[in-house]
Amino acid sequence: MAISQADGSLTVRFIDAAPKLLLELTNTTDQTFRSVEILTVFLKDEETPGGGPSRVHIKFEAIKYLRPEEKAVLSHRTWIDGQPTDQEHDQLERLKVLEGEVKPYVLDISWEDAEGKMRFQRIPVGH
């Protein structure tokens, strides 16, 4: 199975659906993608001076299929110190891109294309 980089095949958008922030993924190609997955994002520790080991990470649910030009809202879960959190402690907001701010995180996304090749894309995010 070949693995290759795909530039711009997917786009992400954050949707403010108060009280919850959602991540929308769009397939901008004319191919159906299978097994679309975003790797877990480990967030920098904001509480330890000078940083420390990541205490917070965000896991996203995989998508079985993403058809051409289709959009999908991914469910996610924030984990702090190895425990799932409630909505009040959700950290997805930290992945939103803010104009003029450094993007310290990346969404590593992988999927299988119509030819059975594994593809991946990195999308810088965060603030």
Task: Give the helix ranges, DSSP H, for 30-91.
Answer: none
Mention every residue, 6+ apart, whose C-beta is less than 8 A from residue 40. 57, 58, 59, 60
Domain total of the chain: 1
Dihedral (C-alpha) 60, 66, 72, 75: value to the nearest 10 degrees? -20
**5 pLDDT band (50/70/90 cuts)?**
low
Q: Which helix (H) or strand (E) holds 65?
A: strand 63-66
What is the residue range of 70's domain?
Answer: 3-125
pLDDT surpasses 50 at 3: no
Q: Give, as one character, the DSSP assignment of residue 9.
A: S
Q: Are 60 and 38 in contact (CB under 8 A)?
A: yes
For residue 70, what is the domain's CATH number?
2.60.40
pLDDT tens track for 18-66 = 888 999 999 999 999 999 999 999 999 887 777 778 899 999 999 999 9
